[in-house]
A and B are shown apart, each in its own frame.
Chain A
Amino acid sequence: MSLSINTAKESNLALCPKCHKLNQLRDGDSHQKIQCVRCHGFFYQRKPHSLQYTLAWNIAALIAFIPANLYPIMIIYSLGIGDPSTILSGIGQFVDHGLYPIAAIIFTASIIVPLLKIAGLFLLVYRVHTGVRLRPDKHSKFYHILEFLGPWSMLDVFVVALLVAVVELGFITSVAAGPAINYFTLTVIFTMIAANSFDPRLLWDKKQSNE
């Protein structure tokens, strides 16, 4: 089936990522910077150095994820005594209180999604680079799930911001943000940029060049 399909690249055309207008390449140089005839934005036929950028941002995300889990993300003060909690111990508290659905939501947003994104992007980069067992239909769907899930990891950051603002009852009780919140936010931002740097069309290009 894939053999009968002609791509824009093969026809010397490039799709503008912003307005989705097909632009004709002038001298057939597929690495040149193109200015869209419709929206006048600059773009490339394929994101340049897509795999390298994805890999670099992905490694940065992985590194930031370590202190994000070691340091406390939030410190609850009551009657002057501070009780720090990390991302994982915060989830543990919800489990202790029997609030399993909430525990599951935070665990998914804060632990599973970032790790799945980082591991998934490493896998996609590896598969595109080597072409080993590349399944573009499956892998592009997987990529879209990763891309869609990205922003939901900000959940814990928003929760901490809300709690710090709402729970401000002086000496009785108050909530402070911990250093992990910075590292965790960086993890989320880096994985989002990593996913953005990946060009899913490379999956299909590689497959076609293999055949």
Chain B
Amino acid sequence: MSANIDTKQLIACQQCDALYDKPELKQGQSVKCIRCGSTIAERKVDSIERSFNWSLAGLFFLVPAILLPIMGVTLAGQYHHASLLDCILVLIDRGFFMIAILVFLFAIAVPIVRLFGAFYITYSFKFNKLKPSLLHFLRAFHHLDNWAMLNVFMLGIVVSMYKLLDDTDLSVNMGLFAFILWLISSTMASAALDQDYIWQRLEDEFVD
């Protein structure tokens, strides 16, 4: 209970609050909580470089993934296809505003913001353009952690294909490939991002 605990030398488990001395980790090492088993700290390998490259790739696939048609159906000589954006427009058109907004948020807006976020953070580190505003930016970035659902949407595409396969002539379009590449790049970009390291660097730089 002493008044001057050096909080830089300590670390606590996010899940059970157990307190530990901060370990010195090398790249690729991680430590687990001995009480609840969750990961307390992790140093990822080549985090900035890998996350930067993946987020750059993600930004490249983003526009075709959203705008190009994902799949189409043919029945009795008629053909129709739809893109990710069409799903939202059609919901608005039919009056399902809440669903349209949520699908937009979970499958487009949040993934885009996260991707731009990862790109901006890693860009700033890679080219040594660290600014105090990054602290606020990174904190806002964490609010979105649970709400990106590209992977769920991907499973939705697979299920709808099975549903359509039976009665119609199903065709797969370029949008699907772009979407899969976007999903992979976004997932890799956030997985590679070493948040402990980034926070530590920003703290050393801007917090006394």
Residues of A within 8 A of B (CB): 1-2, 5-13, 15, 17-24, 37-41, 94, 97, 99, 102, 105-106, 109, 136-137, 140-141, 144, 147, 150-152, 154-155, 157-159, 161-170, 172-173, 176-177, 181-182, 185, 189, 192, 196, 200-201, 203-205
Structural contact, B16 and A136, CB atoms closer than 8 A: yes
Interface residues of B in 72-119 (CB under 8 A from A): 72-73, 75-76, 78, 80-82, 86-91, 94, 96, 98-99, 102-103, 106-107
Structural contact, A152 and B152, CB atoms closer than 8 A: yes
> Does residue B178 face the partner (Cβ distance < 8 Å to A)?
no
Bin the interface of chain B by size: 35 or more
Structural contact, A158 and B162, CB atoms closer than 8 A: no
Told that A165-B91, A166-B81 touch, could you supply 15 new A-B pairs with CB distance under 8 A? A1-B34, A5-B18, A8-B18, A19-B199, A21-B7, A39-B136, A99-B162, A141-B37, A152-B155, A163-B164, A165-B89, A166-B72, A177-B99, A192-B146, A203-B16
Measured between alpha carbons, how far is A105 from B90 in the docked complex, in Å? 26
Structural contact, A167 and B73, CB atoms closer than 8 A: yes
Report B-chain residues with C-beta under 8 Å of the C-beta of A144. Answer: 15, 38
Q: How far is the CB of A49 from chain B (nearest CB, A)?
A: 18
Q: How far is the CB of A141 from chain B (nearest CB, A)?
A: 8
State which of B34, B82, B162, B196 has its C-beta within 8 Å of the C-beta of A166.
B82
State which of B17, B72, B99, B139 has its C-beta within 8 Å of the C-beta of A185.
B99
> Does residue B35 face the partner (Cβ distance < 8 Å to A)?
yes
Structural contact, A169 and B73, CB atoms closer than 8 A: yes
In the complex, the 6 A-B pairs of residues with the closest C-beta atoms, listed nearest first: A158-B156, A165-B82, A8-B12, A165-B87, A7-B17, A22-B7
Measured between alpha carbons, how far is A177 from B98 in the docked complex, in Å? 12
10 contacts between A and B (CB under 8 A): A5-B18, A5-B35, A11-B5, A154-B106, A162-B160, A166-B70, A166-B164, A168-B80, A172-B75, A173-B75
Interface residues of B in 127-150 (CB under 8 A from A): 135-136, 138-139, 142-143, 146-147, 149
Q: Which residue of A lies closest to B76 (CB)?
A: A172
Measured between alpha carbons, how far is A109 from B154 in the docked complex, in Å? 14
Given known A-B contacts A7-B18, A41-B139, A169-B80, A22 and B10 have beta carbons under 8 A apart: yes
Structural contact, B166 and A97, CB atoms closer than 8 A: yes
Residues of B within 8 A of A (CB): 1, 5, 7, 10-12, 14-19, 34-38, 70-73, 75-76, 78, 80-82, 86-91, 94, 96, 98-99, 102-103, 106-107, 135-136, 138-139, 142-143, 146-147, 149, 152-153, 155-157, 159-160, 162-164, 166-168, 195-196, 199, 202-203, 207
Measured between alpha carbons, how far is A205 from B13 in the docked complex, in Å? 13
Report A-chain residues with C-beta under 8 Å of the C-beta of B76. Answer: 169, 172
Report B-chain residues with C-beta under 8 Å of the C-beta of A185. Answer: 98-99, 102
Q: How far is the CB of A97 from chain B (nearest CB, A)?
A: 6
